[in-house]
Structure 1
Amino acid sequence: MKIFVLIFTFSFALISAQTHRFIYEFKYKQNPKQTEFQKVNMTLDVNPENVKFYNYRYVEIDSTNITKGQNSQLWDNSTNVIVRSKNSNTNSNYTMINDVFVFDTEDKIDWNLDKETKKFENYTLQKATSNFGGRKWTAWFSKEINISEGPYKFRGLPGLIFQIYDDQNNFDFTLVKSFKLNSTYKTPFIESFYGQKPIKTTQENINKMLMNEYNDPYHETREQFKKNPKTTFSINGTDIKDISQFKELTESRRKFIRENNNPIEIDKALKYPQN
């Protein structure tokens, strides 16, 4: 396990308005048949009242917005955005399907503590395992960091999770950096995406929207083309010159969606039709 910079200088008497920020390297496979991981840094902010998990790229863009007076925002649906109250297993899940939506899930994880330990620098990490989301997970945590949190929805161990990975080698979160912020970090890019608050919904409604998107991924573009057949439309680098092209493009998009249907919680994955 590679952990590059860890600075744990916690003073628990002085954390009332602080954010404890943990950066995890997230390695994942959108397509389980891939041999190579995609990699991105993810942020775990442990605040006085809540915990937030999101792509670190959002922090970088937010910092640029502040220093340059801009209002650029990014949403990457290949990574998760999770918010929960402190010491809670109720997670608010944020996702974008044209608009940003949020829905709640109950995600209590039952851990099995193992006696196996290993050293990392000055920390002793203990092994724990769990079945969650249809996958088997191995976590390494430290009781020396008295924060019962970890990346994504993984929490509830008697210490901070340093690393967690699944037994099929699809996902791996590894802690690479930690520091404290002097005040609670605000995340307008979550609560107000381009001035619009997330729309409250349910997992069932999200699944319906995703299935509609799968069944007819280019509905809006096709309807616009019908109204304006002389206008140039382009999809993934293909110029549309005839309505018949939408059939092949739709089949290609559906195939891509099926092959990349590999969420962390595989038991919640949509079962897309094969044709």
Structure 2
Amino acid sequence: MKLIVNITSIMLLILIAAGSIAARSQSSNRGSQPAKLSKVQFVDKSFMECIYEHSNYDPFFDETRIVDWILEIGRKASRYGNYNEYRLDSIFAADYNGKPTYDEFDEVYKKVGSCSLTETLKILNENKLNHYEGIFGDYYVYTEELPAFDWKISNETDEICGYRCRKATAEFRGRTWDAWYAEEIQISNGPLKFGGLPGLILKIEDEKKEHIFEAIQLRKSNKDFGYQLRSFRIPTDRKTFNKMMHDFRSDVSSFIVNSPLAPKNPDGTPAVPPKRRLFYNPVEID
């Protein structure tokens, strides 16, 4: 049993890193050639940016992970995406005229750190939201109306990023959320899918404090933004996508069974790897 577990772990690492290994192999052979960067479909120009620190706790592993995200706010739309990915794009545009070589791409990537292609685009003037995310190499998109929140505003206040914020509470998809919004910043928006208050949400957390989004920087901006184009995105709906993500994160081994790199028994039949759970505690549990 121990040998099977070790082999499975190795195969998992091989599969998860396969894309990265292939890219680095190409880089070593074509290091001086221009890297192929993702194209972006621009939808608006930002006038403000807010960087949030998202603290996510998974009780299964008793572990907390912290990732920085950025909210780019325009007049017609807003985009919430990974801050490291944003930094990569900014460095390539400023220092390499948007055309880094493969070697330069790898060098910058190592300095910036891991990225995520998850994006949430709010089309404010159409009252809709597009969510883009990948699962095991496949890219998905779903569209829904901007969520409606039944906020209960209290007299409790706090100071965040130098702004006096008022507290509001609402239920949202299985969790109770406490939000602190800055009335001074008259923008009805916030991290991820949150919004609907008479001011920008600078902090929001669920009652169990398993998710805490807190602003760490606000700044003026004048930058085009949009979503990354893919050769093919699979259209779906929110509940179907969340179910797929739950199944993947709850048992990543099940996604390996039908892979060409899946381990095999001596007789050539597929070896069924033991169940393996990944870090996972989603914002939406309903």
TM-score, normalization by structure 2: 0.67
Cα distance in 2, alignment partners of residues 17 and 185 from structure 1: 4
Moved more, 92-101 or 68-77: 68-77
Cα distance in 2, alignment partners of residues 192 and 121 from structure 1: 34
Q: Structure 1, residues 143-169: CA drift from partner, whole Å, max 9, x if none?
A: 111111110111010001111111112
Using the aligned pairs only, state the percent identity: 28
Q: Structure 1, residues 214-243: CA drift from partner, whole Å, max 9, x if none?
A: 58311343x4568xx7xxxxxxxxxx9776
Q: Say whether the 8 Å CA contact 1:89–1:108 is kept in structure 2.
A: no
Cα separation, partners in 2 of 1:119 and 1:24, compared to 1, 3 Å: closer
Which residue number corresponds to residue 51 of structure 1? 78
For 1:59, what is the secondary structure of its paired residue?
helix
Shift in Å, 1:18 = 4.0
Which residue number corresponds to residue 151 of structure 2? 111
Cα distance in 1, alignment partners of residues 225 and 70 from structure 2: 13
Q: Say whether the 8 Å CA contact 1:225–1:243 is kept in structure 2.
A: no
Q: Say whether the 8 Å CA contact 1:143–1:159 is kept in structure 2.
A: yes
Cα separation, partners in 2 of 1:127 and 1:64, compared to 1, 3 Å: same
Cα distance in 1, alignment partners of residues 216 and 224 from structure 2: 19
Cα separation, partners in 2 of 1:136 and 1:242, compared to 1, 3 Å: farther
Cα distance in 2, alignment partners of residues 99 and 131 from structure 1: 31
Q: 2:275 aligns with which of 220, 245, 252?
A: 252
For 2:208, what is the secondary structure of its paired residue?
coil
- Provide the aligned C-alpha RMSD in A: 3.2
Q: Structure 1, residues 98-126: CA drift from partner, whole Å, max 9, x if none?
A: 23211012321111100112345753211
Written as runs of structure 1 = structure 2, the 5 A alignment for 1:108-257 is 108-120=148-160, 123-182=163-222, 184-187=223-226, 190-193=227-230, 196=231, 198-203=233-238, 205-206=240-241, 209-210=244-245, 214=251, 216-221=254-259, 223=260, 246-247=271-272, 249=273, 251-253=274-276, 256-257=277-278
Shift in Å, 1:60 = 1.6
Q: 2:124 aligns with which of 72, 75, 86?
A: 86
Q: Is the aligned partner of 1:99 residue 2:122?
A: no
Q: 1:27 aligns with which of 50, 55, 59?
A: 55
Cα separation, partners in 2 of 1:126 and 1:211, compared to 1, 3 Å: closer
Shift in Å, 1:61 = 1.8
Shift in Å, 1:37 = 1.9
Which residue identity does 1:90 align to in structure 2? Answer: K
Cα distance in 1, alignment partners of residues 63 and 254 from structure 2: 30
Q: Structure 1, residues 224-267: CA drift from partner, whole Å, max 9, x if none?
A: 568xx7xxxxxxxxxx97767832x3x233xx05xx44210111
Cα distance in 2, alignment partners of residues 51 and 121 from structure 1: 20
For 2:72, what is the secondary structure of its paired residue?
strand
For 2:271, what is the secondary structure of its paired residue?
helix
TM-score, normalization by structure 1: 0.70
Cα distance in 1, alignment partners of residues 77 and 131 from structure 2: 14
Which residue identity does 2:275 align to in structure 1? Answer: S
Which residue identity does 1:105 align to in structure 2? Answer: E
Q: Say whether the 8 Å CA contact 2:160–2:215 is kept in structure 1.
A: no
Unaligned 5+ segments in structure 1 are: 1-15, 230-239, 268-275
Cα distance in 1, alignment partners of residues 246 and 204 from structure 2: 31
Cα separation, partners in 2 of 1:197 and 1:87, compared to 1, 3 Å: same
For 1:266, what is the secondary structure of its paired residue?
coil
Q: Say whether the 8 Å CA contact 2:48–2:219 is kept in structure 1.
A: yes
Which residue identity does 1:39 align to in structure 2? Answer: I
Q: Say whether the 8 Å CA contact 1:141–1:159 is kept in structure 2.
A: yes
Cα distance in 2, alignment partners of residues 60 and 225 from structure 1: 35
